[in-house]
Amino acid sequence: MSFTLDPQVAEALAPIVAAMAGSTPPPVGDVAARRVAVEGLIGHADTARPTPDDVKTTDHHLTTADGATILLRWYTKLGAEPGPAAVFFHGGGMILGNVGLFDGTVSRYVSASGTPILSVDYRRAPEHPHPTPVEDAYAGLVWLHEHAAELGVDPARIGVFGDSAGGGLAAAVSILARDRNGPAIAKQILVMPMLDDRTLTPDPEIAPFVLWSWDDNATGWQALLGEAAGGPDTPAYAAPARVADPSGLPPAYIEVGQLDIFRDEDLTYALRLGQAGVPVEFHLHPGVPHEFDGLAFTTDIARRVIADRVRALASL
């Protein structure tokens, strides 16, 4: 068995790989070091491309059930017709990131698709372990439904959208909404989602290529779940791969790279959804690792995956 990077992606990532050569990754559990390193990469990727000038942002604030206040940022394309919308949850392994770090990314999705997006600044672990992040995410969905009329949104055409940990939150919110008989979700758009707290054993075949490692993953899940991470009692609202019965969940768009440590859990989730009668569009992209598109955005494969996500948003 032999895996290789997509040649264009390899060329785009070469300066980053060279800069990281010889550095020692932080140990499992070091959240602070990961926040510094990964948020720096996210910020670089977000600002490396121009932010569209046809997207307007408006900040709202939501008071949660436990009395906290979280930011909701509403992105709309100027001149767009009323209709669908999506609730977005950013990536970051459940431990890092914020709405502002993804301003450019979300604006580009809105500009290209015409679909407005509500980005939820959910609270992160370990300061806020499960269930706080998913409850914040769910509260954002409820808020958009409650304010749909004033925002010009059709409540029957609201989707959830997230990448990496945010993709896991979008999947978890879909389960939560089903189980609570909560707001309708038209589609779940899951971009390389983080779904399973049991993904902790390195795969030597793809280890040379990963951008989010198994140590990173263990750090994120332990921050969210503590000693329960990887054990028998993890709830599906934290790790959607644990859902006992996927039937009745919203139609799903799911994608992942073949060199991503989430590959197998995402493949399995797509299969289980499909077997349960949930409509699924699934893409396995060869030769690419986790979050490659943000750093190798000029490549042909990055353009294709962005076009697919825009199509999924526009189809709501």
Q: How many Å apart are CA 187 and CA 284, to the nearest integer?
A: 19
Nearest by Cα to 270 from 240, 292, 293: 240
Residue 184, domain CATH: 3.40.50.1820
44 pLDDT band (50/70/90 cuts)?
confident
115 pLDDT band (50/70/90 cuts)?
very high
pLDDT of 238:
98
Lowest mean pLDDT among 22-31, 55-64, 245-254: 22-31
CB distance 224 to 129 below 8 Å: yes
Q: Take residue 247 and report the two structure tokens written for it.
A: 């039937």
Domain range for 44: 7-21+29-314
DSSP string for residues in the chain: ------HHHHHHHHHHHHHHTTPPPPPTT-HHHHHHHHHHHHHHHHHSSPPPTTEEEEEEEEE-TTS-EEEEEEEEETTPPSEEEEEEE--STTTS--GGGGHHHHHHHHHHH---EEEE----TTTS-TTHHHHHHHHHHHHHHHTHHHHTEEEEEEEEEEETHHHHHHHHHHHHHHHTT-S--S-EEEES----TT--S--TTTGGG-SS-HHHHHHHHHHHHGGGTTSTT--TTT-GGG-S--TTPPPEEEEEETTSTTHHHHHHHHHHHHHTT--EEEEEETT--TTHHHHSTTSHHHHHHHHHHHHHHHT-
pLDDT of 1:
61
19 pLDDT band (50/70/90 cuts)?
confident
Domains held by the chain: number: 1
In a domain, 214, yes or no: yes
Nearest by Cα to 141 from 248, 193, 64, 67: 64
Mean pLDDT of 68-96: 96
CB distance 142 to 182 below 8 Å: yes
| Amino acid occupying residue 76 | T
Q: Which residue has the tokens 């993904």?
A: 199
29 pLDDT band (50/70/90 cuts)?
very high
In a domain, 2, yes or no: no
In a domain, 1, yes or no: no
In a domain, 230, yes or no: yes
On the question of pLDDT at 152 being above 90, the answer is yes
In a domain, 246, yes or no: yes
Mean pLDDT of 278-290: 98
Residues 259-279: tens digit of each pLDDT: 999 999 999 999 999 999 999
**Model pTM score:** 0.97
In a domain, 15, yes or no: yes
23 pLDDT band (50/70/90 cuts)?
confident
Active site residues: 164, 260, 290
**How many C-beta neighbours within 10 Å does residue 93 have?**
24
The whole-chain average pLDDT of the chain stands at: 96
In a domain, 183, yes or no: yes
Q: What contacts 229, CB < 8 A, 6 or more positions away?
A: 197, 218, 221, 222
| φ, ψ (nearest 5 deg) of residue 62 | -120, 130
In a domain, 112, yes or no: yes
Q: How many Å apart are CA 126 and CA 221, to the nearest integer?
A: 9
